[in-house]
A and B are shown apart, each in its own frame.
Chain A
Amino acid sequence: MGLRTPLSRARGLGSAKDGTHHWWIQRITAIALVPLSLWFVASMVGLAGADHAAVTAWLAHPAVAVLMVLLVAATLHHAQLGLQTMYEDYIHLHWLKIVADLTTKMASLALGVAAAFAVLKIALGG
């Protein structure tokens, strides 16, 4: 029973029109962040008190550069999804909710590109 059409039930997209996509991407980034964040903490522990030469030599290692870009990308994507959920829960002014979400998404993309550029500059530019 129910008021939904058979087509609507088959699509399974619900009232938000995007189904479980938001939830699923949040889980994928969460799973990726388990090893990435453990690697990050272990690396920072090893680099405690390191100077510029030591840190840039570490970041210039190909595996480290790739993992650092992946860490920042997965973290920012996971963060903007989480912040979107909080805006939806706590901001009741529609226009402010949209402005907050757009600002967050654009800022997270810009920051991700800036961080990736910084890592690549160290890794490739020496």
Chain B
Amino acid sequence: MASTDNRPLSPHLQIYRWPLSMLTSILNRVTGVGLTVGTLVLIYWLIAAAAGPESFATAQALLGSWVGRLLLFGWTWALFFHLCNGIRHMAWDAGWGFEIPTIDATGWIVVLASIVLTVTAWVLGYAAMGVL
């Protein structure tokens, strides 16, 4: 099969320069899985609140620890990314935004909006606690 040895390969993920659309596509799935885990935490939090002050205090201590806050920060970003990129998907479903410059522009808007919204939510949350 010598004639087939040098045929071009499909994108080799370790050396291929990822277009933004490839990154946002896989991040949509990664954040979706992450948010599913986050939903389990939300349900645990609701059940702890229903179970009483002691179990709720345990839940608040876990979520309020630095690991808990780091995870909550990650889930906030995952939520905003999946939300913004989901709206981008709805625009595609409506037949809008398939030109490559538009795909790149909306991709950057989604990335920047998810970061700005995440930081804004956390600044407002710390302000509500009176820390800021």
Contacts and interface: CB of A to CB of B under 8 A. Distances in A.
Contact of B86 (A30, A46, A47): A30
Contact of B121 (A41, A52, A72): A41
A16 interface: no
Contacts, number: 85
Contacts of B121: 41, 45
| Main DSSP-derived SS at the A contact region | helix
Interface residues of B, number: 34
A45 B125 contact: yes
Interface in B81-98: 83, 86-87, 89-90, 93
A34 B83 CA distance: 7
Interface stretch (B3-11, B15-23, B34-42, B102-110): B34-42
Contacts of A31: 90
A111 B35 CA distance: 15
Contacts of A72: 39, 42-43, 46
Contact of A79 (B39, B56, B129): B39
Given A52-B53, A83-B36, A44 B90 contact: no
Contacts of A34: 83, 86-87
Given A55-B49, A118-B49, A83 B33 contact: yes
B51 to A, nearest CB: 8
Contacts of B89: 30
A56 B43 contact: no
Contacts of A68: 46
A33 B29 CA distance: 16
Interface in A32-62: 33-34, 37-38, 41, 44-49, 51-53, 55-56, 59
Contacts of A75: 35, 39
11 contacts: A27-B90, A30-B90, A34-B87, A45-B125, A53-B53, A56-B49, A59-B49, A75-B35, A76-B39, A79-B36, A119-B50
**Which are the 8 A-B pairs with shortest beta-carbon distances?**
A118-B50, A48-B125, A49-B129, A52-B53, A52-B56, A118-B46, A45-B125, A79-B36
